[in-house]
Amino acid sequence: MKSVWMAFFTSLVLAMPSWVTAGHHEAVNVHLPVGHMWKHGALDEQKWMEMVQTYTPEQAGEWKKVLDERKALRQQFEDEKVKKAMKEKYKQMKKEREAALDRLIDQLANKKITKEQFKQELKQLHKKKHWMTKEEKQRLHMLHEQTRQAMENNDQEAMKKLLPQWLEHMKKENERLAKCLQEVKEG
């Protein structure tokens, strides 16, 4: 259960920059320390919408839809039945990983696979635990850093390019969370 919740929590944390501030804007004084949505919910949604209105107002409707969907998903994950189902799913996934590891160890011990094959299989088994690849994490980190720099420098052109990237990231995250929720509900 802990790994599932950690993956879910991490996805929400990574969906938002951990800290981003903007300097003075000509018409609007925007100071936006943006945190993750899980902790602050509607407050951060408001901050995202302020940034969108400032830099990419033509996308406000799409942002509103994505943020509303995220809020609805977050509320569903708070349901006690869902929490219980996630706990059960985690236990099942843990048992499956342990069984797969036991099979790998037995195959290695019985010399049915080589050490190199064991390492490769173990790496594949480990990858199944993670919801985001190393490359995806690096891209997200770079997006965080670019956003932070653009906000610090009040770089309007950069923000106009970065906010659509954040929107696409959030759409993908909503899809992933919805899929996770559906899997949990299906048992």
Query: pLDDT of 50-70, one tens digit each?
Result: 999 999 999 999 999 999 999
CB 173 within 8 A of CB 11: yes
Which has more confidence, 8 or 92? Answer: 92
Longest dimension (CA), the chain: 72
Q: What is the pLDDT of residue 58?
A: 96
pLDDT the model gives residue 33: 39
- pTM across the whole model: 0.65
Mean of pLDDT over the chain: 78
Show contacts of 161-164: CB within 8 Å, 24+ apart: 163/51, 163/52, 163/55, 163/56, 163/59, 164/56, 164/59
- pLDDT over 90 (residue 166): yes
pLDDT 10s digits, 109-152 = 888 888 898 888 888 877 666 667 788 889 999 999 999 999 89
* pLDDT more than 90, % of the chain: 32
When pLDDT is cut at 50, 70 and 90, the band that residue 41 belongs to is low
Cα–Cα nearest to 2, from 80, 71, 91: 91
Q: How far apart are the first and last CA of the chain?
A: 14
**pLDDT value of residue 124:** 81
